[in-house]
Amino acid sequence: MDRRAFIAMAGAGVLATARLARAQQARIFRLAWLSGGSAEGNKILTGCFLNGLRQFGWIEGQNFVIEYRWSEGVANRFAA
């Protein structure tokens, strides 16, 4: 194999590897949890929600993250 053919094959291999690596990156979705209660008061509800998502193959931290916002009974905090 001559030098030019080797360099061309090596370059093609590097480009193919970069394309495959980019295609394998999973998209992470961001969900929002907005509640009028508190985190402690909704612990069972959030746990059930996460268990339900796991049944469909969604795993927190791997393919989605949740941003929790609690108003703790103060309606004015919803706007913030």
Of the pLDDT bands very low, low, confident and very high (cuts 50, 70, 90), residue 8 is: low
User: The whole model's pTM is what?
Assistant: 0.60
HSE (CB half, 13 Å, CA atoms) of 80? 8
- Residue 23 above 60 pLDDT? no
Structure token pair of residue 48: 């059930």
Which of 38, 22, 34 minimizes the C-alpha distance to 69?
A: 34
Phi, psi of 70 (to 5 degrees): -120, 130
DSSP letter at 79 equals T
Mean pLDDT of all residues in 17-42: 78
